[in-house]
A and B are shown apart, each in its own frame.
Chain A
Amino acid sequence: MTEPVVQIRDLHFAHGERVIFDGVDLDIAPGGITAIMGPSGTGKTTLLKLIGGQLRPLSGSIRVYGEEVTTLSRKGLYQLRKRMGMLFQSGALLTDIDVFENVAYPIREHTRLPKPLVRDLVLMKLQAVGLRGASTMMPSELSGGMARRVALARAIALDPSMVMYDEPFTGQDPISMGVLVKLIRELNDALGLTSIVVSHDVRETATIADYIYLLSQGKVVEHGKPEALQDSSLEWSRQFLEGRPDGPVAFHYPAPDFRDDLLRGGLLK
Chain B
Amino acid sequence: MLNTLQNLGKATLGFFQRLGRGHLFLLQMFATIPGVLMRPRLVLTQLYTVGVLTLLIILVSGLFVGMVMGLQGYNTLVDFGAEDSLGVMVALSLVRELGPVVAALLFAGRAGSALTAEIGLMKATEQLSGMEMMAVDPVQRVIAPRFLASFISLPLLAAIFSAIGVYGGYFVGVDLLGVDEGAFWAQMQDKVDLHGDVYNGVIKSIVFGFVAGWIALFEGYDAVPTAAGVSRATTRTVVHTSLAVLGLDFVLTALMFGD
Contact = CB atoms under 8 A, between A and B. Distances in A.
Given A81-B134, A105-B134, A109-B135, 4 more contacts: A90-B126, A105-B136, A106-B135, A106-B136
Interface string A76-96: 001101101110111011110
A92 B126 CA distance: 5
A110 interface: yes
A151 B131 CA distance: 12
Contact of A92 (B130, B135, B136, B137): B130
B137 A88 contact: no
A57 interface: no
B125 A106 contact: no
B125 A95 contact: yes
Interface of B: 122, 125-127, 129-130, 132-137, 141
A54 interface: yes
Nearest to B124: A90
A19 B133 CA distance: 25
A52 interface: yes
A82 B135 CA distance: 6
A78 B130 contact: no
A105 B136 CA distance: 10
B237 to A, nearest CB: 20
* A-side interface size class: 20 to 34
B129 A54 contact: yes
A78 B126 contact: no
B127 A92 contact: yes
A95 B127 contact: yes
Contact of A94 (B127, B135, B137): B127
Interface of A: 49, 52, 54, 78-79, 81-82, 84-86, 88-90, 92-95, 105-106, 109-110, 151, 154, 158
Contacts of B135: 78-79, 81-82, 106, 109-110
Nearest to B141: A109
Contact of B130 (A82, A84, A88, A109): A88
A63 to B, nearest CB: 18
Q: Chain A interface secondary structure, helix, strand, loop or mixed? A: mixed
Nearest to B137: A78
Contacts of B137: 78
A94 B133 CA distance: 13
A110 B133 CA distance: 13
A78 B135 CA distance: 5
A110 B129 CA distance: 17
Contacts of B133: 52, 54, 81, 84-86, 88
A88 B129 contact: yes
Contacts of B122: 95
A199 B141 CA distance: 31
B145 to A, nearest CB: 13
Contacts of A154: 134
A94 B123 CA distance: 11
Contacts of B130: 86, 88, 92-94, 151
Contacts of B136: 105-106, 109-110
Contacts of A79: 135
Contacts of A78: 135, 137
A106 B132 CA distance: 11
A78 B126 CA distance: 18
A199 B134 CA distance: 22
A93 B127 CA distance: 6
B258 to A, nearest CB: 45
Contacts of A85: 133
Q: Residue among B126, B129, B133 with the most chain A CB within 10 A?
A: B133
Nearest to A94: B127
| 4 interchain residue pairs of minimum CB distance | A92-B130, A92-B126, A81-B135, A78-B135
14 contacts: A52-B133, A81-B132, A81-B135, A86-B133, A88-B126, A88-B130, A93-B127, A93-B130, A95-B127, A106-B134, A106-B136, A109-B135, A110-B135, A158-B134
Contacts of B129: 49, 54, 88, 92
A113 B182 CA distance: 62
Nearest to A86: B133
A54 to B, nearest CB: 6
A110 B134 CA distance: 9
A73 to B, nearest CB: 13
